[in-house]
Structure formats: C-alpha cells, structure tokens
Structure 1
Amino acid sequence: MAPVPVLDGSFTEHPIRSATAVVIAVGPEVVGHTRRLLASRRDLTVASDAQKVTLGVIAAYVVVIAILWNVPYVRWSLWPFKMLVIAFHEFGHAVTACCTGGHVKSISLDPHEGGVTHMVGGKGAITLPAGYLGSSLIGALLIFCGFNIVASKIASLILAVCFLLTLWWGKKDWLTILTILLAVGLLVACWFIVHAEPLRFVVLFIGVMSSLYSVWDICDDLILRKVNSSDASVFAQRYGGSSQCWGVVWSIISVLFMAAGIIAGIAAFPQSFAQQEEDSKNFLPTR
C-alpha cells in the first residue's frame, strides 16, 4: 500500500467512454428506483425482519473477518476479498490523482505486499489518504446498498465500472486480471439466483471487508508490525505529524463511514424480504 512511485505514462480514453456508456444506459432507471426507495422511509426504526437479519449478518461478518484476519494460514481464506479491497484502495489513489491533475501509469495488486499505484503528478495531500478513506467510503456505500436487493443491483453495476477502470489501469499480471474476473463472475452469478437475493449478502460482505480493511491494515502496518512504508508514514514525512497519529485518524474516519452506511441503510430501506423480491423482479429482471 505504500503508493505512488512517479512514472511517466499516457493512456487511452476508450475504457472511460465504455464505462460512461454503461452508466448512461441504466442511469434513468437507476435514478427512478433510488428516489422511490429513499422516499419510502427516513426514520431509524428497525421494523422489518429484513433489517434485523441484515444487522445480524453485518455483526457476524465483523466477527468472522476479525478472527480470520488474525489466524495464521486460515487468514488466506480472505485472500480473494482482500484482493478486491486492495483494488478499491488503489482505485482511490488513482481517481484522486486524475481529479487533481495527475496521470495513472498502472496499478498492481499483490496478496503479500498489498498494492501500488504508479502515477505522475496529483496532489499528495489528497491522493495519499484517498486509498484508505476511499476504500472505507466504498465499503460504507456497499453496506448501505446491502440493505436492499435493488440497491445491491445498482451497486453491482457501479462496481463493474470500477473493476473495468481498475483492470484498465492495472498491470497486466495474471493475479490482477484473475481477481477482477472472479469478482465480476461472482456478481453476475448472484444476479441469476432467486431474483438476485444472494447478491445483497455478497455486497454486504465486500462492504464490511472494505470498511474493516482500513482499520486492520493500518493496525498491522503502524501498531503491530511497525512498518514504515505505509501511506500514513509517507503522509507524515511530507506534511508533519506521526504515521501512528494519521493512521488512527484515518481509522476513526473509516469506522464513522461504516456507521453512517448502516444508519443510512436502516433509514432508507424498511422493505420486507417479500417487498424487496417483488421490487427486484421489476428492476432489470433475470428470471
């Protein structure tokens, strides 16, 4: 996760146009359904069984991920999902680099060392924290969408665009390509099972994993292992403070993002399982 060696490079805009075309094609339908869902209810009463089950699943995911993350050998069971959230982390660096005048040369993913984004230019004060905070924000949004099947369908479409961009930026190594293709395959498969009902639990798991990844990884790098090559240490060298301080600050923000995603999900999606399935049948149906 130590980011951003400076490399020169250029890239074509065709993947961005393709991704934009996908968003435009489904945009009107997505917006309409989102407005209806958000207008349905905005209080924090956990009334439906679907909400209670979702909260229970989130709690179970937190416990399971926390255990698996720290158990030797068993922790490798998280490898596919860890690779995904590493991709989110690097995607955060890449997007903010482009938004602040930089250019992305490549993204590489590694299960041992994490990931690295090679870029030229950009504003380090924004691009450095954008990895952890970006993956946490994506995680919070996925948790929010995981409360509802239709919202999970929308999230999976956006994820597909993110994966397309990551694959485009990614170094053409087998690990990056295989990880992204497996992720896309899992999402596609879930669309065709019981009107995409399992999709929301996959989206939830990826969301929880992405939210917790920042906390656990910062803890590993800065507290337990004392690694000095993290985003936080580079940020501290450039802008002052200590790497531990910035790591704790970013971890707190990550937890707040996750809490906000849960609260927003409760407020926006009170539908029962039956209501969600009926809504799913009318939104890009697969059965």
Structure 2
Amino acid sequence: MAPTDALFSGGEIAYRSAVPVDTPHDYDYDFLSRRDLTVNDTQKVTLGVIAAYIVGIAILWNVPYIRWVLWPFKMLVIAFHEFSHAFACIITGGKVKSISLDPREGGVTHMLGGRNIITLPAGYLGSSLIGALLTFCGFNIVASKIASFAVGVCFLLTMWWGRRDWLTIGTILASVGLLVGCWFIAHAEALRFVILFIGIMSSLYSVWDICDDLILRKVNSSDASVFAKRYGGSSQCWGVIWSIISLLFMVAGILAGIAAFRQSAEEMRNDSGKFIPTRF
C-alpha cells in the first residue's frame, strides 16, 4: 500500500483516536467509500489514456489502409486468443498439437481432446480476461513489471506450441523485445502504458472481432458458430453474450485498478526504482 495512504499513516491514526467512541463505524465507512470512489490526479491521467486508446483503436480498426498500423498488436492479441484455447484444452484433459498465426489476422489451435464447451469460448473470454488483468496492472509501474513476466510465460508457451510457425515466433519475439525495451525507459514508466494498451486492445479485440465475424462478415467457421452448432442457440447470440462478458471484464479491471493503486506518479517511479531497477 502507498506510504501516503491516509488510512494507515501516523497522522490519520492520531486523528482517528480523537473521534468520539460512538461514531467510529460511520467514520470508517465514509472514509473507505471516499477512498474507493475518488480518482486522484495520476488515475485521471491513466483514465484519459485509456479513453484515448479506446477511441484510437476504434478509428484504426475500421479505417482502410491505416488499420494496418494495428496489425502487430492484432497478431499479439490473437496469440493471447490461441493461448487461451490451448490452456483451456490442457486443464480439461486435452493435448495441444500446435498453434499457428495467419498473416490475414487469424489463428488456429490444433487440439486433441479437452471439453469443447470450455475450450471454444475460452479463446475470446480468456483473451479478454488477460486484457482485464493487464489493464488492472497498467495502473501501476511495479504491477506492470510483474505482469510483463506473466505475459512472458504466456509467450513462451505459445511459442513452444507454435514452434513450427515462423509468424508466431516472429510476433512473440518482437513483443518480448518491446516489453524488454520499455523496462529501460524512466524506471519502466513506458512499460506501464504499453501493458495498458495491450490490455485494452485484448479486451476490445474480442468485441470487434466477434462483430466482424458474426455481424459484418457472418463467417461460418467462427468459435461462436461452432459452439452454436454443438450446444444450441445462434452464433450471433453467443457472440453478443461473449462480447458483453468481455466488456464487463474490462470495466472490472479498470475499477479494480482505481481501487487498488492510489499512488502518485512520483511514488510509482520511486517504488519502481526499488523493484528490479532499470533506467535508460
């Protein structure tokens, strides 16, 4: 917890000792409510960056030609999507044969066994959950450093499963290079905003890709269409449900970040300088 957090600081404890005995519960409730809901200046900047990311991604996603600017990040979140399929397959008793990424912004995971009722939606829901966790970590530099290790593990597993696919290997190596490079900029402050961008991109990818496949292009081989054929309902219905869940994950990640990380920008930089310090 931040050293300036009033709830545990010496000044606040002294102040609370002066509160009448018959009112401590009301005071605690009011204070914690303010702590959870009030957005400080650093968090306002972070929320502004998130809003800019959402608008920027929405524009770049849909404008011809310049949409290729997002291509490297699309391939990155597709890797998260395929990793989520593979991970769900493993934990439900299946075996992953291979993962490959398609330069036309697609991917495929070849699996044996596993429970399809879990592995099919896991691609979108898993990648959006990863996005929410990265968004949460993007509110703090040290948390972003820790998140980069977790992302690295995901990448290594994905690269192992996709070791015969050079696009997969190249995408992952470039992503790892980006993350490592950001560690050396201002005690990894740049890393925080990269993790935040990847988190927002991964959350929104599920929504927009489902819209592209099921509403605009009506692709017959999407995860939602296969799920609908096996378990009933329509692909559009399942796509909408998964999109709503993805958005809820993103909102939850943002709210959790606001509640958990109350430090100022200077405090974050100081803490980051003590946790695997790097500076360029």
TM-score (norm 1): 0.85
Q: Could you tell me whether the CA contact under 8 Å between 2:127 and 2:202 is conserved in 1?
A: yes
2:166, 2:39 → 1: CA distance?
46
1:61-116 CA-to-partner distances (Å, cap 9, x unmatched) read 00000010001111110011000100000000000100000000000011315100
After TM superposition, the structure 1 = structure 2 runs for residues 8-157 of structure 1, keeping only pairs within 5 Å, are 36=1, 43-157=35-149
Equivalent position SS for 1:50: helix
For structure 1, the residue ranges without an aligned partner over 5 or more in a row are 1-35
1:170-201 CA-to-partner distances (Å, cap 9, x unmatched) read 14222111110010000000001110000000
1:120, 1:165 → 2: CA distance?
17
Out of 204, 211, 225, the residue aligned to residue 212 of structure 1 is 204
Q: Could you tell me whether the CA contact under 8 Å between 2:74 and 2:105 is conserved in 1?
A: no
Q: Does 1:248 align with 2:240?
A: yes
Q: CA RMSD, aligned part only?
A: 1.5
Equivalent position SS for 1:109: strand
TM-score (norm 2): 0.87
**Measured at CA, do residues 215 and 160 of structure 1 come closer, stay the same or move farther in structure 2, by a change above 3 Å?**
same
Offset at residue 152 of structure 1 (A): 0.3
Q: Could you tell me whether the CA contact under 8 Å between 1:46 and 1:270 is conserved in 2?
A: no
2:244, 2:213 → 1: CA distance?
16
Q: Does 1:203 align with 2:195?
A: yes
In terms of mean alpha carbon deviation, does 169-178 or 89-98 score higher?
Answer: 169-178
Counterpart amino acid of residue 237 in structure 2: C
1:242, 1:192 → 2: CA distance?
48
Q: Could you tell me whether the CA contact under 8 Å between 1:156 and 1:203 is conserved in 2?
A: yes
Q: Could you tell me whether the CA contact under 8 Å between 1:97 and 1:104 is conserved in 2?
A: yes
Give identity over the alignment, percent.
Answer: 76
Equivalent position SS for 1:117: strand
2:182, 2:59 → 1: CA distance?
26
Q: Does 1:184 align with 2:176?
A: yes
1:111, 1:244 → 2: CA distance?
25
Q: Does 1:271 align with 2:233?
A: no
2:39, 2:226 → 1: CA distance?
46
- Work out which structure has the larger RCO, using CA pairs closer than 8 Å and 6 or more positions apart in sequence: 1
Q: Could you tell me whether the CA contact under 8 Å between 1:46 and 1:52 is conserved in 2?
A: no
Q: Which residue of 2 aligns with 1:4?
A: none
Size of the alignment, in residue pairs? 251
Q: Could you tell me whether the CA contact under 8 Å between 2:39 and 2:258 is conserved in 1?
A: no
1:239, 1:113 → 2: CA distance?
27
Q: Does 1:194 align with 2:192?
A: no
1:97-153 CA-to-partner distances (Å, cap 9, x unmatched) read 000000000000113151000010000000000000000000000000000000000
Equivalent position SS for 2:187: helix
Equivalent position SS for 1:195: coil
Counterpart amino acid of residue 117 in structure 1: T
1:237, 1:173 → 2: CA distance?
30
1:243, 1:171 → 2: CA distance?
32
2:143, 2:272 → 1: CA distance?
9
1:1-25 CA-to-partner distances (Å, cap 9, x unmatched) read xxxxxxxxxxxxxxxxxxxxxxxxx
For structure 2, the residue ranges without an aligned partner over 5 or more in a row are 8-31
Q: Which residue of 1 aligns with 2:164?
A: 172
Q: Could you tell me whether the CA contact under 8 Å between 2:135 and 2:254 is conserved in 1?
A: yes
